[in-house]
Structure 1
Amino acid sequence: MISRFGLLKRKAGMTTSSFNEHWKNSHGPLAAQFPGLRKYDQHRVTNKEHFGIDHTRGTWDLDGFSELQFDSMEAMHEAIDSSAFLSAQSDEDAFLDDLHLVVCEKHRVVPLNLGDQPYIKRMTLLKRLPGVSPEEFRHEWLVKHAEWVSQWPNVLGYTQNLVIDRYYNSRSDSADYDDVPFDGIVEFWFRNKEEAAELYTSDIVMRTQQHALEFLDEITPFFVETSSVV
């Protein structure tokens, strides 16, 4: 299973509410028709606060993340070649100014356990340090960093999405790293900001962030609200 994330920037002059409405009610039903689509989530950005993080923030300014899951890269490309994809793509000009795409491997480190209480979710873009290779980043993040985070208390879920391909302008030809310059997307769930703020002052989190200094250049977080379309 792979996830295809779109990094969405709304059309200039469009309000957030109009963007969200068009994405949900007009674009969503079009994308939901893609053949081979296993799951489709819309993650609407609600807050861009650099909460609990000392690292440098990147320049990404986003209004949402789309996430479409397929069984394989081959299944994703079959969807891109379909008439349903052309219909959805023709709708993008109505609400988007910019769109970057990445394909990710999804690694669930802390299984999701939300219960029946309210929760908050944060999605974060990670960019590796210059001089750190993709292979080194993979090991530091998926092995060492995951072990640190798995020890955090009061985390409702933690998923690592490792970028394995990226696209910009073309939907079928891979883009250069400089066109889509980040290496992973974090999904983090907490009960509320108060518990998260307390957690970020703990010794285990401080030691985890010290490890992050060894392989991360930029950390760019966004609080989101997620709606499942498929």
Structure 2
Amino acid sequence: MITRIGLLMRNENMTPEEFDRHWRDIHGPLGAALDGLKSYYHHTVIERGDHPILGPWDLDGLSELDFEDDETMKAAFASDAGQLAKEDLALLLSDMRILVCERHVIVPMAPDAKPGLKRMTLIRRKPGMSDEAFRHEWLDVHAEMMRKWPNVLGYNQNLVIDRFHKSTVESASPEEVPIDGIVEIWFENEEKAAEANESQIVQDTLAHARDFLSEITPFLVTTRKVV
């Protein structure tokens, strides 16, 4: 499975409410028409969080589209439906970066879970760290620590394997789109999240993050399922 996550900055002539309405009512159905689409979500940013190593990103939304594989994804966006969706993005957005990710489900969401709070966090590895070293620190060491967090309803790591900016055909460099992963974490509510933050394992995990990451930019989002 391939996950395509768009980092969205709204058209400056739109209010946040106009942006979200256009995204929901006009762009959403265009994206839903893509062939081979397994699932499609809109994550509307309601707050950018703070962090000691906060990155520069300031987003209005994150799109999430799942396809069976890379070839299916590319064919979908090369189709007539894909062209219509891309044309509408010119009206909706001032800028967009695209991240193609492999998803790692670390804490599976229980079928009866009722998440009321979701954070999506952009992370960037420390300069000079190899792909192998980053994978080990995040997918092995950090993931194992996250499994021990209290009150977590679900936790995914989305490892970036390709990036796009001005083109949807030619890959962008890590310098042009300097993001190496996207975290998804769910809690029941803010109180449960705050309670978790008081635990020692959470403090140890956050300390470990600063050992291998140079930027951490969290966003509180609300999620809308399109497909």
Q: Same fold (TM over 0.5)?
A: yes
Equivalent residue number for residue 130 of structure 1: 127
Paired residues, number: 227
Query: Is there any run of 5+ residues in structure 1 with no aligned partner, and where?
Result: none
Task: Give the match for residue 59 of structure 2.
Answer: 62
- Residue of structure 2 equivalent to 1:198: 195
Task: Tell whether the 8 Å contact from 2:113 to 2:153 is kept in structure 1 after alignment.
Answer: no
Residue 113 of structure 1 aligns to a residue in which SS? coil
Q: 1:58 to 1:87 in 2, by over 3 A?
A: same
Q: Residues 213-228 of structure 1: matches in 2 within 5 Å?
A: 213-228=210-225
Query: What SS does the corresponding residue of 2:3 show, helix, strand or coil?
Result: strand
Structure 1 vs Structure 2 CA RMSD: 1.1
Give 1:114 deviation, angstroms. Answer: 6.7
Deviating runs (4+, > 4 A) in structure 1? none
CA distance in 2, matches of 1:210, 1:118: 26
State the 1:13 CA deviation. 2.9
Q: Where does residue 34 of structure 1 map in the other structure? A: 34
Gaps of 5+ in 2: none
Q: CA deviation at 1:116?
A: 6.0
Q: Distance in 1 between matches of 2:46 and 2:78?
A: 33
Q: What is the TM-score normalised by the length of structure 2? A: 0.97
Task: Check the 8 A contact 1:166/1:174 in 2, yes or no.
Answer: yes
Alpha-carbon distance in structure 2 between the residues aligned to 1:131 and 1:94: 38
| CA displacement at 1:209 relative to structure 2 | 1.2
Match of 1:85 in 2: 82
Aligned partner (choices 136, 140, 160) of residue 139 of structure 1: 136
- 8 Å Cα contact 2:49/2:219 also seen in 1: yes
Q: How far off is 1:49 after superposition?
A: 2.3
Q: CA deviation at 1:118?
A: 5.2
Identity %: 51
Secondary structure of 1:162's counterpart equals strand
